[in-house]
Structure 1
């Protein structure tokens, strides 16, 4: 299932949501491609999408969930990829 959290992440003068799949990266990439989301928006385990795309992505089939539920579902599916700590 494709999931999206509410736009709440500010960056680059915009507010962003995360788009994920709780089934596979293949499902996520196929959905993103069909929705016209550029590949450069993919970051480890999700796509960053601007708030102006939120309603369109829900209309296309993404299921709105809280940010907490989105992360919990990624972890449960074994698809969560955290940033590696930088060597310091």
Structure 2
């Protein structure tokens, strides 16, 4: 019952990125993202890609910073983790199947 952030470690597009997940439900994650004003294009199947400059704001809104291993452990335990093999599939974004993107 938490929205989690891992440390921003992934360089892309001139920024450093991390991940925002829920350990409860995608509805919780999407509700949190909407309250934070995160763009829908940042959603990637089971997480949002988050630039480092948004971390303080997200933590102030209630996200919990955890290390990357803890984030993945809790995401898997929740049953929400999308396996890597399923991330490679592409197609149009829908409510049931958002489009896949390259890593942040």
Q: How many residues align?
A: 86
Stretches (4+) displaced over 3 A: none
Greater relative CO (CA pairs within 8 A, separation 6+): 1
TM-score, normalised by the number of residues in structure 2? 0.79
Per the alignment, residue 47 of structure 1 pairs with 48
The structure that is strand-richer by fraction is 1
TM-score, normalised by the number of residues in structure 1? 0.93
Q: Is the 8 A contact 1:44 1:82 kept in 2?
A: no
1:1-88 equivalent positions in 2, closer than 5 A: 1-84=2-85
**Unaligned regions of 5+ residues in structure 1, if any?**
none
Q: Is the 8 A contact 1:22 1:73 kept in 2?
A: yes
Q: Return the alpha-carbon distance in structure 2 between the equivalents of residues 23 and 65 of structure 1.
A: 16
Q: Is the 8 A contact 1:18 1:47 kept in 2?
A: yes
**Unaligned regions of 5+ residues in structure 2, if any?**
89-104
RMSD: 1.1
